[in-house]
A and B are shown apart, each in its own frame.
Chain A
Amino acid sequence: MTRPQRWLIAALSATLLLGSTVAQDPAPVRGGTVTVAISADPPGWDPTLSTSQEIARVTYGNVYEGLVRFDRDGAIVPALATAWQVSSDGLAWTFTLREGVRFHDGSPLTVDDVLAKFERARDPDSGHVNAGYYAAVVDVRAPDERTIVFELDTPSRSLLYNLARPDAIIYPQAVAETQRSQPVGTGPFVFARYVEGSEVRLERFDGYWNPELPYLDGATFRIIGDANARVAALQAGDVDYIGAAIPPEQVRVLQANPALKVASGTATAEITVAMNNARAPFDDPRVRQAISHAIDKDVIVQGAFFGLGTVIGTHMSPSEAYYVDLTGTYPYDPERARALLADAGHADGLTFDFELPEPYAIERRTGEIIAQQLREVGIDVNLSVVEWGTWIQRIFLAADYDMTIIGHSEPRDINIYANPNYYYQYDNPRVAELLAQAEAAPTAEAETAAYQEIARVIAEDAVNVWVFSPANTVAVRADVYGFWVDQPTPALDLTQVYRAP
């Protein structure tokens, strides 16, 4: 397919998306502002220097853009590149840079800004996060003023996906050092003011490359650390929009309020009961299978989270393009669990440590229920809560633990099962093989098939117990439209948000 045709399709699908919104919502209105609640000050505002999700929530699509980006459905659409194509051997990706793009400081976007960005991104000493995303890239060059070519030594279909992530954004080469405190991007909003511990103000960028957008004149992100205080601020009218982390027990209260709209969509996290596969008793697959059979995931989601989540059966959330439902692999069956335990020589019971991470309420609550469910099949866990720094240091980095529970919120992160040193200590070369197949896949269908096969392999090996993917609940004032409900990537993209009476 030639470049203009590709762009046409992207433009068409964007129009269709807009069209479907118009069918239910009033026509977009120019002007007005919204106040959005976020939960913490991030470590600076540069998404290339920290993976903090609060940075992405404020900046992704609003302040910063990359060559490509995710839309609200998780599809990869043009941003600073208008078109792209991959060579038939998969070793060269060519992007066409959009014309007439200016940064917020007035300087034009050039290929040099793009080249400087990816030179930094590929240098592990630069402090740029996720240098590994570009491991297959051997060179990035600009044959002319509007063309960028990524040259690879092995095919990498995930390159395009990685280029849409929050850290793949492009800022002016000249002011790269000051992005942490003063972000300058190409997005529809200018980063106008940051009062630490208090708020961030964005203002409409009049020089945005798409003259139709944004609709709003500006937005304020209020930093409210306490989840209940965020909900109170929404109810009091001090905040118009909460886009993430609404406590499940508050959702009904908000739903009953006629001044508000509440919607639930998918998000990228998998609540995972991680087991140390290298350590007894988890080195015996029958024990891991028994634990999988012993956990009633439906009871957890319905009983403890008011149904606000999707039960999963592998390391894959419903927000993923290649999602496959594998909940039937080891269904809830306490009889089978007891039989497997007896078979593995634990007929008299089994004891091990189960450590819950202190900062995460969903994980702690889930873990406590699971401990109870395990007791019913004769597994007596020593439940304890560990401080976050300790969790990272001892459990995650040193893999010194029996069982723990954590939400893996990175999208498209099933590749962690190819790493035998990861804290699961799961060693199956088949996953790495399949991953290479996915990267070299000739078609999108073949890529999806390879990823789903990885999902199946780890599910059958019962590496971990994947409990559920928490829903993303959004609550806004009734006159706010155009906000994201699903979270294919952590974002509070205000590009198409508007207020209509």
Chain B
Amino acid sequence: MTRFLARRLLTTLVSLVLASVVVFGAVLAVPGDPAAVILGMNAAPEALAAVREQLGLDVPAPRRYLRWLGGVLRGDLGESIQYQRPVARLIGDRLGVSVPLTLAAALLATLLAVPVGIASALKRGTAWDPLLVLASQVGAAVPSFWLGLLLILVFAVGLGWLPSGGFPGWDVSVIRSLRALVLPVLALGLGQAAVMTRMTRAAMLDVLSQDFVRTARAKGLARRSVVGKHALRNALVTLVTVLGLTLVNVFVGAIVIEQVFSLPGIGRLALTAIGNRDYPLVQGVVLLYASAIVLMSFLVDLSYGWLDPRIRYA
């Protein structure tokens, strides 16, 4: 297990370093000039040059990268051009919205998808199965921003039950903050649940058709025991992969949902930073996304080893 862990950790670190190079390079490759964004269309060239110097943009790119990487290793992501605050603190503030949103949406998706997916697999051949398949197909096809707008029109504009967007902040009111997250969680979680249902159904069908399940049934085990102990345990490896993917999808999908519901999360921060060519902030946020994805696949890998000992030695 130790060797397995060490090997996985090393791959993770290499991925992160590569990601940092790609992040920095991508930001460089995007045309545009933060000084021009700040000073507007009628800025004088001298003023542009002065602002560029203030921002440290007159330093050559490789040196800027090393300086940035050195900072990252010391835990210093630099300072945002737009907000004039440390990037790490800005990201920290926004995680207070994005993390609860992501986790709640993933939880909602899992709670809906796993039972429905299993039920759908077990009800195969009955009238329920095509209905559930159709529902999940529609759910997966609906774009989350459209679902978000629809939820706003029904529950905020029409019924007036919930706010149409915005976020009061945990320090201002926990109840109002929770209410502000209800519609975004639904918009983000429902679409994901649909995708996850289909994957769960497929995984269960796959396991149920295998020989050991037939054997278990043949030796007279209770149906509950066949599904719960034998089939589900074996479908878990696939399900954990799906769950990892879901968490990543939801975290990234939150970019759109945060925009629709005007939530001050990481996604909105990323969009604002890109629009303003706030290089340090873009780098910090994209690095966060890359790290989240790499970390997620690391955790999923680890859980494989735990769920299925055969994988550790592969």
Interface residues of A (CB under 8 A from B): 40-44, 49-52, 124-132, 180-181, 195-199, 222-226, 228-229, 232-233, 235-238, 387-390, 392-394, 396-397, 408, 410, 413, 416
Contacts and interface: CB of A to CB of B under 8 A. Distances in A.
Contact of A396 (B41, B83, B94, B276): B41
B90 A196 contact: yes
A223 to B, nearest CB: 7
B308 interface: no
A42 B39 CA distance: 11
A226 B148 CA distance: 12
B259 A198 contact: no
A414 to B, nearest CB: 12
Contact of B37 (A43, A127, A226): A43
Interface of B: 30-33, 36-44, 46-47, 50-51, 54, 81-85, 90, 93-94, 149, 152-153, 156-157, 160, 163-167, 169, 259-265, 268-269, 271-272, 275-278
Given A224-B166, A225-B268, A236-B164, 5 more contacts: A50-B39, A199-B166, A229-B152, A229-B165, A393-B32
A415 to B, nearest CB: 10
A421 to B, nearest CB: 10
Contacts of B160: 236-237
Contacts of A387: 31-32
A124 B94 contact: no
Contact of B164 (A41, A51, A233, A388): A233
A43 B276 contact: yes
Nearest to B35: A127
Contacts of B43: 51, 129
A410 B50 contact: no
Contact of B50 (A124, A199, A394): A124
Contacts of A50: 38-40
Given A50-B40, A238-B156, A224 B33 contact: no
A198 B264 contact: yes
A426 to B, nearest CB: 16
Contacts of B260: 226, 229
B40 A51 contact: yes
B47 A228 contact: no
A49 B268 CA distance: 23
Given A224-B166, A225-B262, A226-B259, A43 B44 contact: no
Given A124-B47, A387-B31, A41 B272 contact: yes
A402 B149 CA distance: 39
B40 A223 contact: no
Contact of A238 (B32, B41, B164): B164
Given A229-B262, A232-B156, A222 B166 contact: yes
